[in-house]
Chain A
Amino acid sequence: MDVDKIKKRKYPVQNKKIAIDIPKDKWEKCPNCKEIIYKTELIQNNEICPYCNYYFRMNSKKRIELITDENTFKEFNLNIKTSNPLHLKDYLKKLDSISKDTDLDEAVLCGTAKIDKEDAVICVMDSYFFMGSMGSVVGEKITNAIEYATKNRLPLIIFCASGGARMQEGIVSLMQMAKTTEALSKHDEAGLLYISVLTDPTYGGVTASFASLGDIIIAEPKAMIGFAGQKVIKETINEELPEGFQTSEFLLEHGFIDMIVERDYLKEIIAKLIKYHKRVTHEN
């Protein structure tokens, strides 16, 4: 494979003249360059703005379509639901309404799939569901997926997209960091491959647990990744933050991720990495 193309993809500058009378449900405005883009065109372009290369956040179902071989994803159905440990008013109602809007049960999809014919366990967080935050259900689903990967000697791929621990479940959410990390330790000690893919945004308790523990850590370009939120940092130090702070490029420069990979080549690179580790995996 031509490795150079990973960072060199050029987007053709297209004719910017677009008809103004397009129906609202058929176009999207790029938050970065403000250009109007046809939704079908945006989807065909893997949700990347064709004008400025801005990455729209991808939901978990589309991500699975992008990364896994067609019709190979089999979700683990745990049939669990949060019990609202802090008894917060409106929390369950809010979850129900997000669930309806996104057609998802919770902020992560976990299952087995083939990636370029290679078997893997894949977990994909969804920033459209409660900002991908991790409460009891997300923690349990991810832990269960990691344990499945360990038991069946499979590589594990986690796509992170999360604001961090879910505040609405208090201390129980915090403990999901320990729970997922414990499970990853067993996967690691079994000599198995874990690839963590950081997408926009990856923050807080997710950064401070499984997101940062990959054997290989990949990020999408210009994703925002950090531990503390920018507002908290600004309030603490009372200073402006440097340009490009907490972007993927910033993390690469400081040595915290292995590579930045364009969305179009993610599947190819992940499949290649799995193949590289296959022999080692089967020796044990």
Chain B
Amino acid sequence: MKTKSAWEIVNIARNPMRKTALDYINIVFDEFIELHGDRCFKDDKAIVCGLAKINHNYYTVIAEQKGRTTKENIERNFGMPNPESYRKAIRFMKQAEKFKRPVITFIDTKGAYPGIEAEQRGQGEAIAKAMMILSKLKVPVIAFVIGEGSSGGALALGVANKVYMLENAIYSVISPEGFASIVWKDGAKAEEASEKMCLTSKDLYDLKIIDKIIKEYDGNSYVKVADEIKKLILQDTLEYKSKDYKDIKEQRYQKYRNMGEYIKDVK
């Protein structure tokens, strides 16, 4: 089979008909109870949070949610979280630790929302705090990059013990358009940028940033993908059940500690 170009994958990841977090959540878990609000300002709907279970295993689910129709997209702010979304996420991260539930996150965003109010309410602080809370959790965190994982808005849910990525998802520091405009001063070179940026699942696996690629099949393969997600969650649940919280934290620490591409012993 012909391998897809990075730009083709970018377009698959962005396709509005691509399955969203809630599509997977509804199949992966036996039950999902959505819970709302950051207890400070509002319930921002670009991130959904709730309780879920598979058999007798209980989880806290935190997911970036895009819409499909215009109406849904307006409600979900096109999957671009405001600070309230991250603060809601933080509330559920802490709750997960209190009740000793693993945290399962789904990443799918063009990025945190760039707006006046978002800045007024501390978009940067909200993302930084979410990462810090994840890094301190005594329970395991398992992240799935299912569509677009763009920038800090994605990483806010991505500081995890295990990071899995769908074959046709992308994960990057910025959009290809943004990259082309900053690095080459030409936003029109997005396609060329996407080939250079190492944003496909294969690139990220080679860079050891993700743990595994979840294969996608042609046609309507999302049930198979959901099955694989479920299998991985159950497998990791079992693995971490026997581990001390100190080991869980340390494993997460070491995972990020080793990320960086540099040459040593430079004179």
List the interface of chain A (C-beta within 8 A of B). 79-88, 136-137, 139-140, 143, 165, 167-179, 181-186, 188-189, 204-205, 207-213, 226-229, 232-233, 236-237, 239, 241-242, 245-246, 250, 254-256
B174 contacts across to A, CB distance below 8 A: 165, 167
B141 to chain A, nearest CB (A): 12
A189 touches B128 (CB 8 A): no
B196 contacts across to A, CB distance below 8 A: 86-88
Top 9 closest pairs, chain A to chain B, by CB: A228-B114, A207-B124, A227-B124, A136-B260, A85-B261, A208-B127, A208-B152, A212-B128, A227-B123
B112 contacts across to A, CB distance below 8 A: 208, 227-228
A81-B263, A233-B119, A256-B125 are contacts. A185–B135 as well, Cβ < 8 Å?
yes
List the interface of chain B (C-beta within 8 A of A). 112-116, 118-125, 127-129, 131-132, 135-136, 151-152, 155-156, 158-159, 171-174, 178-179, 182-183, 196-199, 203-204, 207, 209, 252-253, 256-257, 259-267
A209 touches B207 (CB 8 A): no
Complex-state Cα separation, A81 to B179, whole angstroms = 22
A178 touches B116 (CB 8 A): no
A204 contacts across to B, CB distance below 8 A: 152
A171 touches B199 (CB 8 A): yes
B113 contacts across to A, CB distance below 8 A: 236
Complex-state Cα separation, A251 to B19, whole angstroms = 38
B182 to chain A, nearest CB (A): 5
Looking at B113, B173, B257, which has the most chain A CB atoms within 10 Å of its CB?
A: B173
A253 to chain B, nearest CB (A): 9
Contact of A181 among B119, B123, B131 (CB under 8 A): B131
B152 contacts across to A, CB distance below 8 A: 165, 174, 177, 204-205, 208-209, 227
A179 contacts across to B, CB distance below 8 A: 256-257, 259-260
A242 touches B127 (CB 8 A): no
Complex-state Cα separation, A211 to B152, whole angstroms = 14
Looking at A165, A177, A209, A232, which has the most chain B CB atoms within 10 Å of its CB?
A: A177
A213 touches B114 (CB 8 A): no
B129 contacts across to A, CB distance below 8 A: 212-213
User: Which B residue's beta carbon lies closest to that of A166?
Assistant: B173
User: Which A residue's beta carbon lies closest to that of B172?
Assistant: A171
B216 to chain A, nearest CB (A): 20
A209 touches B260 (CB 8 A): no
B158 contacts across to A, CB distance below 8 A: 178
Complex-state Cα separation, A185 to B122, whole angstroms = 20
B103 to chain A, nearest CB (A): 15
Query: What are 23 A-B contacts with C-beta separation under 8 Å?
Result: A79-B265, A81-B262, A82-B262, A85-B207, A87-B196, A167-B178, A167-B183, A171-B173, A171-B199, A172-B260, A172-B261, A177-B155, A178-B131, A185-B135, A186-B253, A204-B152, A208-B127, A212-B125, A212-B128, A213-B132, A227-B123, A245-B116, A256-B125
A83 contacts across to B, CB distance below 8 A: 261-263
B266 touches A80 (CB 8 A): yes
Using A136-B262, A178-B158 as known contacts, list a sample of 15 further A-B pairs with CB atoms less than 8 Å apart, ordered by residue number in A: A80-B263, A86-B198, A165-B152, A170-B198, A172-B261, A175-B259, A179-B260, A182-B252, A189-B136, A205-B151, A208-B112, A211-B124, A227-B152, A233-B115, A241-B116
B135 contacts across to A, CB distance below 8 A: 178, 181-182, 185
Complex-state Cα separation, A209 to B128, whole angstroms = 4
A81-B262, A137-B262, A256-B125 are contacts. A171–B132 as well, Cβ < 8 Å?
no
A259 to chain B, nearest CB (A): 16
B151 contacts across to A, CB distance below 8 A: 165, 174, 205
Looking at B116, B124, B172, which has the most chain A CB atoms within 10 Å of its CB?
A: B124
